Structure 1
Amino acid sequence: MSERLRFLSMAEVAEGMLLGKPLVVAKQGVIDFTLPAGHALTETNLRQMRLRQVEFVCVSETDLRTEDERSAELAAEAERLDEVFAHADLSAPALAGLHAAVLAYRSL
């Protein structure tokens, strides 16, 4: 099975979930709290995150979608992105780069 990264709100995050990316919380430019990628979240971690007003967390989970489902979702994401960028000049390097970056992000 493959893994899938998802960005979830704190309301959706539960004890036992694995961080997909490191969590770094800074307060006034100083790192206040960190957890490494792959860390299994505990109730204590969740409480600390809520106290520090964390809003979203990247978690890693088993991807239960079939290859066809993944392909269909990626095609739908690409189609939606094309709608958003319909009036943008994608010959401009900055806009083309932004388009590619958003599509890559949505492919996670």
Structure 2
Amino acid sequence: METRLRYLPITDAAEGMTLGAPVVLSKQGINNFKLPAGHTLTETNIHQMALRHAEFVCIEVPDERSQEEREAEWAVEEMRISHIFRAADLADPMMARLHAAVLNFRRS
């Protein structure tokens, strides 16, 4: 089954959710809490993150959209990115890489 990433406030995180990206929390530049992507959250994990002032968590959720819905949403997203980059010189290699990176990021 296809999945998609969602960012939720830590208050909306629930036991059994799967992390879509690593969680790394630090205080004064020192990492004091870390969970890997793919980790299944427990109540203890959520409590520990809340105590360390985590604000958001990235989780994986089933993607229940049809292929047609995904393609339609992607077309809208591509148009939006094209509008943002409308004045950019995409012949400039650095700008072209930035444009490609934004497209790639939004695609995932």
Q: Alpha-carbon deviations, 1:10-29, whole Å to 9, x = none?
A: 24422221001221112222
1:102 partnered with 2:92: no
Over 3 Å counting, the alpha-carbon distance change for 1:90 and 1:11 in structure 2 is: farther
Instruction: Give the Å deviation of 1:8.
Output: 2.6
The answer for unaligned runs of 5 or more in structure 1 is: none
Aligned-pair Cα RMSD in Å? 1.5
**Distance between the aligned counterparts of 1:103 and 1:12, measured in 2?**
28
Greater Cα shift, 85-94 or 62-71: 85-94
Match of 1:62 in 2: 62
Which is worse superposed, 25-34 or 11-20? 11-20
2:80 aligns with 80
C-alpha distance in 1 between matches for 2:9 and 2:87: 31
Q: Deviations over 1:23-76 (max 9, x none)?
A: 111222221101122111122211221222222222112111110011111111
Count of paired positions: 108
Deviation of residue 9 (structure 1)?
Answer: 2.8
Q: Percent identity?
A: 53
CA 1:55 to 1:92, structure 2 compared with 1: closer, same or farther past 3 Å?
farther
C-alpha change, 1:101 and 1:64, in structure 2 (3 Å) is same
Normalised TM-score (structure 1): 0.87
When normalised by structure 2's length, the TM-score is 0.87
**Map of 2:32 onto structure 1:** 32
